[in-house]
Structure 1
Amino acid sequence: MPTLLHIDSSAVADGSVSREVTAAFRAAWQAEHPEGTVVYHDLAVERIPHLDVHGISAGYVPAEDRSPEQAAAFALREQLMSELEQADAVVIGSPMYNFTIPSTLKAWLDQVILMGRTAGETPSAKGTPVTVVAARGGSYAPGAPREPYEFVTTYLEKVLGGGLGLEVDFIVPEFTLAPVVPALAEFAPQAAESKAQALELAARKAKALAV
């Protein structure tokens, strides 16, 4: 059965555009794969621990030689890496916080990146399609005043594509704060249009994976 790995990292439960768009992707994917499995992580609720010395060192020690602390730390890494390796498609919701990704998503990435397995010359999940919903409160598009501060897509392209060998695609809803921040109110029409396009694109991309 096909498997979708779905990850949300927005700290906002209600009103999150990244969550709404990943949900649209998931719904369209499930419509095409009614027999499929969805593995879901809400990183705002299910706090994945930061990679510590035990988790780091365990990746380079044979299983039989690991300390109890290393074994416990690597068990989580094994679970998360296996989920990525077994997925037929991945969708990730990543809002922009202070010009980059949420720390909760960085914690997940640190746990799943292991040189010689998921990363390196022959990444174990190489070629898996991943769609990233990179929502942001304003605009960081080419030509925008804050374009140089865009460290979400630029970072994830390198990590997911260059590091893990995944086939990365982005959906970028902009001006998500326009409805709630008075200083951005004039951009409300652009926000509505960008969100509508993102929802349509998410459904289209999910359906295309079934071909």
Structure 2
Amino acid sequence: MAVLRIDASIQGPRSASTELADLVEAEWSAARPGTTVVRRHLGADPLPAEAWANAVHGSFLPEDQRTTAHHDSIALASSVAAELRDADAVILALPLYNYGISQHAKAWIDLAMVGGGQGEKLLDGKPAIVLTTRGGAYGPGTPREGWDHNTDYLRRVVADIWGGDLTLVEREFTLVGVNPALDAFTEQAALMRKAAHEAATAAGRHLATR
């Protein structure tokens, strides 16, 4: 069995989304130690920003008119799509940055879109655990309610377009303890972290028993 894990954090060992993905993977690995985990860390090793445009433009050209950049980008897009297609399940750790999806994750999604077949559901009913984190709070009644342009986008892509059986795990207030302006929310943030860790652990355990 193969699991595709995608990370997109730029925070290295301080990453809250990576921490959640580690919990999911640990539960899976404990139950299924022989599982192959295919990894892409988009934050540490970003995909080329120009690859999507090159793949799109190259796809409209006869093969003998494509440049080396066109060929390389089309091959990369095909590889990214194939990783999703070939996986039995996916673990996607994709944090919110600047009120939306990170540029690294967007580049990966765009390449998967052009690398797959027209209308192809690259996940087609497979388990897909999305772990997303936010530095502040964006829920109902907060000053930035409606500013989260990441989570609904991920739902649309992973579940509606790619057809994944989505489990969403969210954590807010990850900047509490980092940004002094948020010190008043220390207790609330600790409860959110605990709830997110429990949800990630449960999602990993459920994934491993499917």
Q: Does 1:203 align with 2:198?
A: no
Residue type of the alignment partner of 2:18: R
Q: Does 1:107 align with 2:107?
A: yes
Cα distance in 2 for partners of 1:154, 1:177 equals 21
Change (3 A) 1:156 1:204: same
**1:78 positional shift:** 1.5
Counterparts in 2 of 1:6-17, with a 5 A limit? 6-17=5-16
Cα distance in 1 for partners of 2:66, 2:191 equals 53
Counterparts in 2 of 1:25-40, with a 5 A limit? 25-40=24-39
Change (3 A) 1:161 1:63: farther
Counterpart secondary structure, 1:126: coil
Counterpart secondary structure, 1:147: coil
- Whether the 8 Å contact between 1:113 and 1:164 is mirrored in structure 2 is no
- Whether the 8 Å contact between 1:22 and 1:133 is mirrored in structure 2 is yes
Cα distance in 1 for partners of 2:108, 2:201 equals 25
**1:97 positional shift:** 1.0
Aligned positions, number = 208
- Whether the 8 Å contact between 2:92 and 2:131 is mirrored in structure 1 is yes
Residue type of the alignment partner of 2:137: S
**1:64 positional shift:** 7.5
Counterpart secondary structure, 2:91: strand
- Whether the 8 Å contact between 2:52 and 2:111 is mirrored in structure 1 is no
Which runs of 5 or more structure 2 residues have no equivalent in the other structure?
none
What TM-score do the two structures reach when normalised by structure 2? 0.90
Counterpart secondary structure, 2:101: coil
Cα distance in 2 for partners of 1:6, 1:188 equals 30
Q: Which residue of 2 aligns with 1:86?
A: 86
Query: Alignment identity in percent?
Result: 33
- Whether the 8 Å contact between 2:3 and 2:36 is mirrored in structure 1 is yes
What TM-score do the two structures reach when normalised by structure 1? 0.90
Q: Which residue of 1 aligns with 2:134?
A: 136
- Whether the 8 Å contact between 2:167 and 2:203 is mirrored in structure 1 is no
Q: What whole-Å deviation, never above 9, does each CA across 1:4-37 have from its counterpart, x for those lacking one?
A: 1111111101221111011111111111211110
